[in-house]
Structure 1
Amino acid sequence: MSLSVSNCPRCGKLFAKGLHDICPSCVKEIDLQYEKCLKYLREHRKCTLQELSEATEVSVKQITKFIREGRISIDNNPNMSYACELCGASITTGKMCDNCRSGLLKDANHLKEDQARGQAQQSQEEKIGFNIKDRLQDRR
């Protein structure tokens, strides 16, 4: 039986890897930050992400992570939004705004069409060509 140990990416302490990728003290700290955010949101439904961060002293990045993980729901907080991962536009769900999502889908469809055209062209070229071995066999 081997024990897997690692340095915590947040604080640098050595810890035994288990359920989390960070040490137990950092897990506790994150849970306390989460509780602070929840408590503040219950009392201040109309706050923005920046206001929440300033009031709780929890980074915007960590709050955004809570939202993306589904730990914090912003459905009841009309002024709460966070940045799209690609362009930085304000969004309330997911990781990308609608414009980036549609652009990504468009690019994926173009790539799929290009691959289909390439395969069609390759199969057509195979039909046109001939094998020299077949021509030599015909002469015998």
Structure 2
Amino acid sequence: MNLENCPVCGRLFVRSPFRDICPSCHEEEERQFQTVVQFLRRRENRLATMEQIVDATGVPETLLVKFIKSGRLTLAQLPNLGYPCDRCGKLIREGRMCADCSKDLQRQLEMAKKEEEQKKKQVFRTYYTDKERNGR
């Protein structure tokens, strides 16, 4: 049994593998999810941006991002929605990072790998002076 404090309200609850918040906060989250779903069911609202959904429903952006990342809101029919890249904050529709940050991270990894290879190839040589060679 995992007892934890709810990250939303601070109450003690038994954490399950399926929920990271207490039952009362989960109920509130479900109510807010239904509010968002009802809003997006109307065809004219499917083109809404994150900001427009927040303004119309009162549901915080962080919760909308949670719904998207968990797969509860699918972006296929919501062309103007996205969530921030974990690295730069640019809006994306899949993954954790935008294409630019992914490329930059890949480039940095390749550079680090090359540096490691260079260090392995480095040969340390010992040079002696004439004094040491002749034993003087």
TM-score scaled by length of structure 1: 0.77
The answer (yes or no) to whether the contact 1:84–1:95 under 8 Å persists in 2 is yes
TM superposition shift of 1:104: 0.8
TM superposition shift of 1:81: 2.6
Considering fraction of residues, name the structure with more helix.
1
SS of residue matched to 2:46: coil
TM superposition shift of 1:18: 2.4
The answer (yes or no) to whether the contact 1:33–1:58 under 8 Å persists in 2 is yes
Q: In structure 2, how many angstroms separate the alpha carbons of the residues matched to 1:36 and 1:96?
A: 28
SS of residue matched to 1:34: helix
- Are 2:106 and 1:105 aligned? yes
Q: State the number of aligned residues.
A: 123
CA 1:98/1:4 → structure 2, altered by over 3 Å: closer, same or farther?
closer
The answer (yes or no) to whether the contact 1:5–1:14 under 8 Å persists in 2 is yes
Q: In structure 2, how many angstroms separate the alpha carbons of the residues matched to 1:107 and 1:114?
A: 11
TM superposition shift of 1:107: 0.6
Q: Deviations over 1:78-97 (max 9, x none)?
A: 22233222222222222221
The answer (yes or no) to whether the contact 1:47–1:79 under 8 Å persists in 2 is yes
SS of residue matched to 2:116: helix
- Are 2:7 and 1:9 aligned? yes
Structure 2 alignment gaps of length 5 or more:
127-136
Q: Deviations over 1:35-63 (max 9, x none)?
A: 22222112111111111112121111111
Structure 1 alignment gaps of length 5 or more:
130-140
SS of residue matched to 2:62: helix
The answer (yes or no) to whether the contact 1:68–1:95 under 8 Å persists in 2 is no
Q: Which structure 2 residues correspond to residues 1-140 of structure 1 after superposition, within 5 A?
A: 3-19=1-17, 20-43=19-42, 44-121=45-122, 124-125=123-124
Moved more, 103-112 or 24-33: 24-33
Moved more, 31-40 or 103-112: 31-40
TM superposition shift of 1:12: 1.0
- Over the matched positions of the two proteins, sequence identity in percent amounts to 33
Q: In structure 1, how many angstroms separate the alpha carbons of the residues matched to 2:82 and 2:14?
A: 36
CA 1:50/1:105 → structure 2, altered by over 3 Å: closer, same or farther?
same
1:65 aligned partner, one-letter code: K
Give every structure 1 segment of 4 or more consecutive aligned residues whose post-TM-superposition deviation is greater than 6 Å: none
